[in-house]
């Protein structure tokens, strides 16, 4: 039965109660139209007794007669006493149902109780209230802020917490567009006046403190009942910190890639001489520099250029930066009309061992914070590379020099002679073997310490007599050798004479007056195009030295040219 029909029956029962008999009313409730009313219907007398009920009213009548519904009993008493109709809501905690009960006076001394189950309406209303409260709570405690704009683009609502330092009242009534920060020449999608739903749109919004935040907005347009756009509604989330974290992570990853790139370039380079080149090339490419220079510290000489890549850094820029580089471990930037330089001290185990200088040419050139940070990140690796190259050179020096005199050793001297003879288009040269006379007497009578000092003095004499392009070696014991670059058969005697003139410096080391310490020199001249090998040249010089040693000592002899038996030039040195 429709609600309207049931209401009509209730009204009919009320009228019948006023004009008809009680029996007719009872019939209407128990067997008539009110019998199928979905809620309880009861006819109650002044004494509280139930005169009639429909089937749904049986449980209700049981509870009423059992005294479980004192409020209903009081309502019946009031109605039968002539107060007029009353209504009341009853909730059943056991079933969770809610009953809307009306008490209507009939026949002057009876009360007609008609109930209607409003549980669904009650629960829906409660759920709606709870849902609205839940939404309100979530919006107010979240980092997002909810908003609504009107047809003129002004804020008409902002959630209680406000946004970006503003109170809601500071935003409401003001155009949303005036808070947006839009780069010149760039068009953006504004969520505050959108005509279609948008999600995840990022905009830059001016904060109350004057700064700018990045907001991620989702919004939906609003339309009136005539389909006209009337504003927008949405939420915004402040993504500033998240974007800063993303940017920081990106920078960290870029630095890691650059560091890995440079480390790999250094590690994969087998030749130490190429290691610094690889490092400088990698750094130049990674930082888009026009030039890169790596300097290392040379004792007594200061900063010395080790590697230069690309455009040369102007010397005056390096000179201007030199003091600042030495004084601080922080990066140093110099901007001049011609360009911008970025330098950083390099170190190993906290001790400065060099510097790197990057150059970017052009008016207005500069280095930003990210690029400066990247250089700082790889500076330690460059310092290690410098140290590795220095260590390699030190080992190479140790392996190619005589520890006592600092001259080349036999292996290094043989390699140098071989390289010299193998060079295309070389000029003449002379190999001189120098051997000490009466050196054994020095060690036997005055001791090895004096003998060592004598060897060091011989090395000094030979280094003083050397000219550019020459190289001097100690072959072992008291044997020395000199390669005289560019010296032919005409000049060899003068070079030998000059060395022998210095023999007087050795006399204080002599073992006895009868056995003065002196020198003998065996020389072999090689001419361009002779095709003579190193072994053949050494054999000629060694042969004339043997002749000198067995012919009186203290003089020099020049071997016959290769492939001839011509006489040699010689002179005995007078003491």
**pLDDT average, residue stretch 447-455:** 93
Domain 252-390, CATH homologous superfamily name and number: GAF domain (3.30.450.40)
Q: Compute the distance between CA of residue 182 and CA of residue 193 in angstroms, rounded to an integer.
A: 15
Q: Residue 461's closest CA among 513, 420, 496?
A: 496
Q: In this structure, how many other beta carbons lie within 10 angstroms of the beta carbon of residue 449?
A: 9
Q: How confident is the model at residue 505 (pLDDT cuts 50, 70, 90)?
A: very high
Q: How confident is the model at residue 136 (pLDDT cuts 50, 70, 90)?
A: low
Strands 479-485 and 291-298: unpaired
Q: Compute the distance between CA of residue 537 and CA of residue 132 in angstroms, rounded to an integer.
A: 106
- Which pLDDT score, from 0 to 100, does residue 462 have? 94
Task: State the distance between the two ends of the chain, measured CA to CA, in whole angstroms.
Answer: 150
Backbone φ, ψ for residue 39 (5° rounding): -105, 170
Comparing 39-48, 129-138, 377-386, 525-534, the range with the smallest average pLDDT is: 129-138
DSSP state at residue 48: S
Q: Residue 211's closest CA among 251, 188, 240?
A: 240
CA–centroid distance for 545 within its chain: 68
- Which pLDDT score, from 0 to 100, does residue 6 have? 45
- The tokens of 569 are what? 């030039």
Q: Residue 372's closest CA among 345, 347, 342?
A: 342
Ranges of each domain in the chain: 3-118, 142-238, 252-390, 410-572
pLDDT above 50 for 54:
yes
- Shared fold status for 142-238 and 410-572: no
Q: How confident is the model at residue 575 (pLDDT cuts 50, 70, 90)?
A: very low
Give me the CATH topology for the region 3-118. Answer: Beta-Lactamase (3.30.450)
- The tokens of 225 are what? 């009942």
Q: Does domain 410-572 have CATH number 3.30.70.270?
A: yes
pLDDT above 80 for 395:
no
Summarised one tens digit per residue, pLDDT across range 242-292 is 888 888 888 778 777 777 877 777 777 667 668 888 888 888 888 889 999
**pLDDT average, residue stretch 74-82:** 88
Average pLDDT, the chain: 84
Q: Which residues contact 466 (CB under 8 A, 6 or more apart)?
A: 472, 482
- Which pLDDT score, from 0 to 100, does residue 140 have? 53
pLDDT above 80 for 36:
yes
pLDDT above 50 for 17:
no
pTM: 0.47
Q: How confident is the model at residue 95 (pLDDT cuts 50, 70, 90)?
A: low
Give me the CATH topology for the region 142-238. Answer: Beta-Lactamase (3.30.450)
- The tokens of 163 are what? 């946004």
Q: Compute the distance between CA of residue 59 and CA of residue 136 in angstroms, rounded to an integer.
A: 41
3-state SS, residue 558? strand
For residues 61 and 71, is the Cβ–Cβ distance under 8 A? Answer: no
Handedness of CA 27, 31, 36, 40 (dihedral sign): positive
Q: Which residues contact 150 (CB under 8 A, 6 or more apart)?
A: 156, 230, 231
């Amino acid at each position: 039965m429709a609600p309207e029909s049931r209401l009509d029956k209730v009204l009919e029962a009320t009228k019948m109660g006023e004009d008809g008999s009680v029996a007719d009313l009872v019939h209407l409730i128990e067997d008539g139209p009110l019998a199928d009313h979905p809620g309880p219907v009861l006819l109650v007398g002044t004494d509280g007794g139930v005169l009639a009920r429909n089937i749904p009213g049986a449980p209700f009548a049981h509870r009423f007669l059992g005294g479980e519904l004192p409020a209903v009993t009081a309502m019946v008493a009031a109605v039968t006493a002539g107060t007029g109709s009353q209504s009341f809501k009853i909730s059943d905690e056991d079933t969770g149902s809610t009953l809307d009960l009306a008490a209507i006076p009939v026949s002057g001394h009876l009360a007609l109780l008609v109930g209607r189950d409003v549980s669904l309406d009650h629960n829906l209303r409660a759920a709606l209230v709870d849902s609205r409260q839940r939404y309100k709570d979530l919006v107010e405690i979240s980092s997002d802020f909810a908003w609504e704009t009107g047809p003129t683009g002004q804020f008409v609502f902002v959630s209680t917490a406000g946004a970006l330092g503003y109170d809601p009242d500071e935003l409401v009534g003001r155009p949303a567009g005036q808070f947006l920060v839009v780069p010149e020449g760039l068009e953006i999608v504004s969520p505050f006046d959108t005509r279609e739903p948008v999600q995840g749109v990022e905009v830059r919004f001016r904060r109350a403190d004057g700064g700018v935040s990045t907001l991620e907005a989702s919004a939906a347009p609003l339309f009136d009942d005539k389909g006209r756009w009337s504003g927008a509604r949405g939420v915004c989330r402040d993504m500033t910190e998240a974007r800063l974290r993303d940017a920081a992570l990106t920078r960290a990853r870029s630095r890691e890639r650059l560091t890995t790139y440079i480390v790999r370039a250094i590690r994969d380079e087998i030749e130490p001489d190429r290691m610094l080149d690889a490092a400088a090339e990698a750094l130049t490419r990674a930082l888009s520099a026009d030039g890169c220079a790596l300097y290392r510290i040379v004792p007594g000489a200061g900063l010395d250029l080790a590697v230069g890549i690309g455009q040369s850094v102007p010397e005056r820029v390096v000179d201007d930066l030199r003091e600042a580089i030495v004084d601080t471990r922080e990066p140093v930037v110099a901007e001049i009309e011609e360009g911008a330089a970025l330098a950083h001290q390099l170190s190993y185990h906290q001790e400065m061992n060099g510097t790197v200088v990057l150059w970017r040419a052009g008016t207005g050139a500069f280095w930003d914070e990210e690029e400066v940070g990247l250089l700082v990140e790889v500076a330690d690796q460059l310092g290690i590379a410098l140290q590795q190259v220095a260590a390699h050179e030190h080992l190479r020096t140790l392996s190619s020099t005589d520890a006592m005199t600092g001259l080349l050793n036999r292996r290094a001297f043989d390699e140098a002679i071989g390289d010299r003879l193998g060079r295309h288009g070389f000029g003449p040269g002379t190999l001189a073997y120098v051997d000490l006379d009466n050196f054994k007497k020095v060690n036997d009578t005055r001791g090895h310490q004096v003998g060592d000092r004598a060897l060091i003095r011989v090395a000094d004499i030979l280094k003083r007599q050397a000219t550019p392009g020459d190289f001097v070696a100690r072959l072992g014991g008291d044997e020395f050798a000199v390669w005289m670059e560019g010296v032919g058969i005409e000049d060899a005697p003068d070079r030998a004479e000059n060395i022998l003139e210095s023999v007087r410096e050795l006399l204080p080391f002599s073992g006895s007056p009868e056995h003065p310490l002196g020198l003998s020199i065996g020389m072999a001249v090689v001419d361009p195009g002779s095709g003579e090998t190193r072994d053949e040249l050494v054999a000629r010089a060694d042969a004339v030295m043997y002749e000198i040693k067995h012919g009186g000592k203290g003089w020099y002899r020049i071997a016959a040219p290769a492939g001839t038996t011509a006489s040699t030039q010689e002179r005995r040195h007078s003491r």
